[in-house]
A and B are shown apart, each in its own frame.
Chain A
Amino acid sequence: MKKCTGSLALTALSLFPVLAFASGAIEGDVKQQATNWHAIIMFVVFVAFTMGITYWAARRTRSASDFYTAGGGISGFQNGLAIAGDYMSAASFLGISAMVFDKGYDGLIYSIGFLVGWPVILFLVAERLRNLGKYTFADVASYRLQQTPVRSFAATSTLMVVAMYLIAQMVGAGKLIQLLFGMSYSSAVIMVGILMVCYVLFGGMLATTWVQIIKAVLLLCGASFMAFMVLSTVGFSPEMMFEKAVAAHAKHAAIMSPGKADPVDSISLGMALMFGTAGLPHILMRFFTVSDAKEARKSVFYATGFIGYFYILTFIIGFGAIMLVLNQPGMMETVTKNGKEVHQLIGGSNMAAIHLANAVGGDMFLGFISAVAFATILAVVAGLALSGASAVSHDLYASVIMKGKANEADEIRVSKITTVVLGIIAIVLGLVFEKQNIAFMVGLAFSIAASANFPILFLSMFWKGLTTRGAVIGGFVGLASAILLIVLGPTVWVDIMKHPTALFPYKNPAIFSITLAFVSTWLFSVTDKSRSAEEEKAKFDAQFVRSMTGIGATGASKH
């Protein structure tokens, strides 16, 4: 981690807050670093170990249920860790600690937004989802509706979310690895793509889950150690930590209070975060890996605990970095950004947690945290790839093309082919988008999930009057409006396409696109007088009983 003349644009964080979560936080030109051997050795150990797990998982993965859901044999505690792992991406770790490092209190506000969706998922979605579905959230949305149109919609929107998220992760991975390991961008992207395909192709959901669990444990341990070391320097007095940070930071006491925010944008962002989480296909899929509703509930409980704990740690880490890293000799550099000289942390603010690791734990610990950051990306992309593959094989191939008559072996074959294709697409897109500003993509993924997936999923479980026509039209309206409003908004229209003013004034469209989706779903359902609509409404009672009691739900497969 020596010299770096490149820059990770902090602007990405301030322009589009959702991105603090994403790898998209890592932006701009990054110069390759000197090779970091500690990190590489630890990473190789991680890869070797997870490949061993993949080999073990491969021998237990035979049926479609094994491949998609690990046979439903994951416990609530394990699943809670895996869900937390999906959520604690490298960017969430580096991005949120960077945001605290730059702005102090505002970083905590975003953490809270990311967390509060979980209780609502538990109260309204988790157990109903587990009782009704089998492999994908489309199972639930199409439970009493026509398979072909509803699954086509669900697969489209799943693939959109997965693609946006994957591009953000791949580009972020390439840049991060350049910085952390001193590897070239293209070799980093290719390696991430290949490892991702290996985990999913051979080990299915079982390997993907265990990779996620191991990484979550490593990340929680590493972050706990850092927070402990930070607090130990101030005699475990938070007040003392805040005093020292305020003294060191250029913004002084302003880091202790919230910055200015537009009310509509804030509420809209809150909605995207809260309901987006309840519509992310790779997160929803995890509820099918446990045996029943009881374990599904427990998983959310543990996940909420781990994620909340993790966000408190990143808050301490951000303040620790202000105190121990900011303006310390050997940690700062001066770079030229848009023609202006900027004095910043080496590698930019996104490296705050990494520099702090060096400051509190030396070279070995720096290597450990770097390796964990890389492992985190791998685990997240593997989950995404599996989710995309199940949308193609289970929803499109088995249900839409083969009309439910596909045999299991063919369905698994299709999902494996899709995994390889997704790996190739991810690598190609990662390379193509290297120089692009992809910061808006995770925000877009959250908005689509909140505006297209969530309304349909929610109404299919709670509203008897939902019909196929309403679901499909409403879903596509949500999908299209989320994309359109982000493109016309300040993030893409002004910052990327360089138009002088945005056609749509808000950065976060969720409040409008979610409302549009709900209203059009309602409108096109209540005006649907077809006979099939009557039949669909009539099937609600049986669906309701199953969603409440779990009678008829898919259980854990017996091995």
Chain B
Amino acid sequence: MNEDVLKKVQSNPKFKELVHKKTSLGWQLSIVMLVIYYGFTLVLAFSPSTLGAPLAPGMTMTVGIPVGILIILSAFVLTGLYVRKANGEFDQLNREIVEEAQK
């Protein structure tokens, strides 16, 4: 990358917008995942009986089972959200930045 292209990209307001949007979405979703997972770990460590309680009176299935499955699903859903946003909106913005830089 030469100095000229670098300057053009950096001064392009669309680049600032891309950086802001991509970075904040990435961090927000990471924090959501970390909170879900470490929240789960803390419940395991300090209050395991919460997860061991029956889902409904008389049931064998415990609260922990659907919670565990939901965490697995949440990982998949979060990646899906990010990919949709990044491969659509962000990549469009990115294409414009690259084109404008090469003019």
Residues of A within 8 A of B (CB): 105, 108-109, 111-113, 115-116, 118-120, 122-124, 127, 238-239, 242-243, 246, 253, 256-263, 266-267, 270, 274, 294, 297-298, 300-301, 304-305, 308, 311-312, 541-542, 545-546, 548-552
Contact = CB atoms under 8 A, between A and B. Distances in A.
A243 B60 contact: yes
Nearest to A238: B61
A548 B51 CA distance: 41
B49 A257 contact: yes
Contact of A261 (B6, B30, B45, B91): B45
Contacts of A545: 1, 6, 9-10, 15
Interface in B15-57: 15, 18-19, 22, 25-27, 29-30, 33-34, 36-38, 40-42, 44-46, 48-49, 51-53
A150 B18 CA distance: 30
Contact of A297 (B25, B45, B82): B82
B76 A270 contact: no
Contacts of B52: 105, 256-258
A555 to B, nearest CB: 13
Given A261-B44, A294-B87, A551-B98, A120 B30 contact: yes
A297 B87 CA distance: 8
Q: Which 4 A-B pairs have the closest CB atoms?
A: A257-B52, A263-B45, A123-B26, A242-B60
B79 A300 contact: yes
Given A297-B83, A542-B6, A312 B48 contact: no
Interface majority SS (helix, strand, loop, mixed), chain A: helix
B13 interface: no
A551 B26 CA distance: 20
Nearest to B68: A108
Contacts of B87: 294, 297-298
14 contacts: A105-B51, A109-B44, A115-B72, A119-B33, A120-B30, A123-B30, A124-B30, A127-B86, A242-B61, A258-B44, A262-B45, A305-B79, A548-B22, A551-B101
Nearest to B34: A120
A54 to B, nearest CB: 32
B6 A312 contact: no
Nearest to B25: A123
Contacts of B46: 263
Contacts of A122: 79, 82-83
Nearest to B94: A549
Interface in B75-91: 75-76, 78-80, 82-83, 86-87, 91
Contacts of B80: 301
Given A119-B30, A270-B41, A305-B76, A551 B64 contact: no
